[in-house]
Amino acid sequence: MKKIKVQDLKKIIKDSSLSPEQLAQDLPISNMTIRRWLTKADSFEIPVKYHIYFQQKTNDLNFNLNEIKTEADFEKDLTRQGEKELQNKNFIKRVNSYLKTSVKQNEITLLVKELLFFIKATQNKKMKLLAIGALAYLLNPFDIIPDGVGFLGFIDDFGVISYILAKIKKNRL
């Protein structure tokens, strides 16, 4: 299991748009404990006994990546996640926040903007849910390659978003 550090906790809070108090409501951890961790250095490791709670919380954003999936299974996961996020009023805010905090206009931010445009313009619910699921995958710090490993952490995000955009364009033909 991946060790969870304060930097991961900060990313969970940022990506979920939750305050430490709101996060504590979903976890059997007090908000004061979470706030105390947030005062530590980013490299500080959260005690192992709490990791399971964060893994459960991130499973709301996570896909079951411990098993090899077919393309159809992965698309079902993305669609299911898209359905969840469609109900989340803060989702588009989180995506826009991601775009604002992105250091520069790089390939992935351009793809994210293209997906956002598609989500607003399409009437095809299945494709819309896939697009939302791909964005949820991007925002999830605990995906196939964790985002905390620098540039390499975005390779899988880039692949998922590129795949979904190609699928969307293929369905338009």
Q: In this predicted model, what pLDDT tens digit does every residue of 109-163 receive, in sequence order? A: 888 888 888 888 888 898 999 999 898 888 876 667 766 666 677 788 888 889 9
The reported pTM is 0.61
pLDDT digits (tens, 9 = 90+) for 61-108: 444 444 546 778 878 888 888 888 888 777 888 888 778 776 555 777
pLDDT value of residue 33:
92
Q: Is 144 found in the same domain as 77? A: yes
**Is 146 contained in some domain?**
yes
Residues 97 and 54 in one domain: no
Q: Are 48 and 42 in contact, with CB atoms under 8 Å apart?
A: no
Share of the chain above pLDDT 90, in %: 13
pLDDT at 19: 81
Residue numbers of the domain that contains 132: 71-172
Nearest by Cα to 32 from 43, 23, 45, 44: 23
Q: Both 100 and 79 in a single domain? A: yes
Q: Can you say how many angstroms the Cα of residue 46 is from the centroid of all Cα atoms in its chain?
A: 20
Query: Computed over its alpha carbons, how large is the radius of gyration of the chain?
Result: 16
